[in-house]
């Protein structure tokens, strides 16, 4: 029977890796940049 | 110097940034043109069903087209190239494929798209792509022999095709 | 530093933590059900498992670009910075999902169709959609007067959505290789385990999308506040008599 695990692994691997890295970089940059902003201006929904 | 320039605009408008803008713009223009050109050249390849392709054979002689149909026979085994009958809407034709072997989904009853050109009454294909259905059915013992995997009877094929395929 | 101050030293909050937990749980369930519990496909074998990431990535991409459309339209009407940032953040997130969609589709195409890529109407229009939103993001980073840049990107953010509609209907409008839509409301051609795995995949993608959108939105807010803070600092320096020597300027910027 037709297999194809290597393609499944590549697809799932890429998906989870890209989303995790993008999320991690976003959070890390947010932590770094928030230190440069005065506390009164850190609120998000103004 | 007591004068203050408090203009907040353009804090760092350097030639470097404008150059970057230009480069980004250029890069997108190149990619867009490349994709557009591919899309147009690909759209110019006619996409015909087997019956249409057979009817317009003379018209498309020597021109690369895509032809879509249902696989009617197993591929012939006695030659290095991949030969099979393709049909649609009551028409059938012989496809002679030289190139990358189709995937394992290739079987009787499957829809495939072949790209190539007419050489006489034969369609010489350089690419066979297997369309797959949008049905998601799991493997199941009772379903192994599904209707779609049954090839048509040799008696239902054109005699010319049966001769070449030696069925 | 008070507790409130500390809370604002990150783009996460209680709500993103809840959404993030949902995403992690759904992601784990997608892996368990999609890769282990669901049986192989009758014709495609294992490769059909890509359905559980490919189709949800389409949903997340459409949804993200739709939010960009809405944000752009509201920005043009109300000139609100909030919606401008929503539009930008959503296009960033959408483009990540679009990359996932293109990649997962490509590795699915090879074992089934026989090619990683073909210039089929659905694939071509998707590539154009991806590039057009990258172009939108490039415009948002261009060096021009901020209000003009916001207006122009909003216009592009609206126009680019035409492409999303073309992508969606391309399988009906033109002949091609790509299969048509599996999930027509009236006629679901998908079986039990596959439907469940697909459901988890969709929850995973949509919750991840919401989580990323909130974080990216907050990040873009922080970035503009940080720039404003830098400018304030420069002005203060000038007023305090240090007339912005190259060294101090460099320190701030």
- Domain spans of chain C? 16-39+48-178+190-222
Beta strands in chain C (DSSP E): 183-184, 187-188
pLDDT at residue C23 is higher than 60: yes
Instruction: Describe chain A by its helix, strand, coil percentages, rounded to 5.
Output: 70, 0, 30
Are C108 and A7 a contacting pair at CB < 8 A?
yes
ipTM of this complex? 0.91
How many domains is chain B partitioned into structurally?
1
| Closest chain A residue to the Cα of B105, Cα to Cα | A2
What CATH number does residue B101 fall under? 2.40.50.140
> Whole-angstrom Cα distance, residue C15 to residue C130?
30
- Look up the domain containing B106 and give its range: 46-134+141-165
For C40, which DSSP code? P
List subunits contacting chain C, requiring 3 or more Cβ pairs under 8 Å: A, B
C163: tokens are 């492409």
List subunits contacting chain A, requiring 3 or more Cβ pairs under 8 Å: B, C
* Element at C3 (helix H, strand E): helix C3-7
Cα→Cα distances C189→C44, C159, C240, Å: 15, 34, 72
Q: Kindly state the greatest CA–CA separation across chain A.
A: 63
B149 domain-assigned: yes
B23 domain-assigned: no
- For the stretch B19-60, pLDDT in tens is 777 788 888 888 888 887 777 777 667 888 888 888 888 888
Task: Report how far Cα B141 is from the mean position of its chain's Cα atoms.
Answer: 32
Interface test with B, best of A2, A3, A7 (most B CBs within 10 A): A2
B108 domain-assigned: yes
Are A3 and C223 a contacting pair at CB < 8 A?
no
B95 domain-assigned: yes
Interface test with C, best of B10, B138, B140, B146 (most C CBs within 10 A): B138
B103 domain-assigned: yes
B110 domain-assigned: yes
Taking the model in full, what pTM does it have?
Answer: 0.84
B69 domain-assigned: yes
- For the stretch B106-160, pLDDT in tens is 888 888 999 999 988 889 998 899 887 666 666 554 444 444 567 777 777 777 7
B54: tokens are 């057979």
């Amino acid at each position: 029977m037709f297999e194809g695990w290597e393609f499944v692994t590549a697809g799932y691997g890429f998906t989870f890796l890209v989303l995790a890295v993008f999320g991690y970089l976003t959070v890390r940059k947010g932590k770094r940049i928030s230190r440069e902003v005065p506390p009164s201006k850190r609120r998000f929904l103004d | 110097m007591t004068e203050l320039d408090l203009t907040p605009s353009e804090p760092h408008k350097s030639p470097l940034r404008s150059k970057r803008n230009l480069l980004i713009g250029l890069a997108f223009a190149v990619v867009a043109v490349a994709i557009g050109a591919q899309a147009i050249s690909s759209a110019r390849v006619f996409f015909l069903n087997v019956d249409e392709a057979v009817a317009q054979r003379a018209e498309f002689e020597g021109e690369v087209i895509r032809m879509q149909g249902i696989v009617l026979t197993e591929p012939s085994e006695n030659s290095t190239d991949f030969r099979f009958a393709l049909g649609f809407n009551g028409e059938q034709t012989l496809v002679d494929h030289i190139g990358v072997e189709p995937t394992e989904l290739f079987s009787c009853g499957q829809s495939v798209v072949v790209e190539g050109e007419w050489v006489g009454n034969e369609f010489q294909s350089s690419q066979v792509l297997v369309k797959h259905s949008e049905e998601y059915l799991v493997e199941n013992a009772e379903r192994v022999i599904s209707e779609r995997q049954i090839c048509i009877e040799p008696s239902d094929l054109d005699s010319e095709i049966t001769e070449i395929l030696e069925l | 530093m008070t507790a409130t101050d500390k809370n604002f030293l990150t783009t996460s909050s209680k709500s993103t933590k809840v959404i993030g937990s949902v995403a992690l749980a759904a992601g784990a369930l997608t892996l368990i059900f999609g890769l282990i519990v669901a049986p192989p496909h009758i014709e495609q074998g294992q490769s059909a498992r890509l359905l559980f990431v490919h189709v949800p990535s389409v949903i997340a991409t459409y949804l993200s670009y739709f939010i960009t459309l809405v944000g752009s339209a509201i920005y043009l009407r109300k000139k609100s910075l909030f919606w401008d940032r929503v539009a930008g953040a959503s296009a960033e997130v959408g483009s990540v999902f679009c990359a996932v969609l293109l990649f997962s589709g490509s590795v699915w195409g090879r074992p089934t169709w026989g090619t990683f890529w073909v210039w089929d109407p659905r694939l071509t229009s998707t590539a154009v959609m991806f590039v057009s939103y990258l172009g939108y993001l490039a415009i948002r980073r261009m060096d021009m007067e901020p209000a003009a840049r916001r207006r122009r990107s909003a216009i592009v953010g609206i126009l680019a959505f035409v492409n999303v509609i073309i992508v969606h209907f391309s399988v009906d409008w033109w002949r091609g290789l790509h299969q048509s839509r599996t999930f027509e409301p009236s006629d679901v051609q998908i079986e039990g385990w596959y439907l469940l795995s697909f459901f988890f995949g969709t929850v995973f993608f949509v919750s991840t999308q919401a989580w990323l959108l909130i974080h990216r939105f907050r990040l873009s807010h922080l970035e503009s506040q940080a720039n404003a803070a830098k400018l304030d600092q420069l002005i203060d320096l000038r007023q305090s008599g240090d007339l912005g020597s190259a060294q101090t300027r460099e320190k701030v910027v």
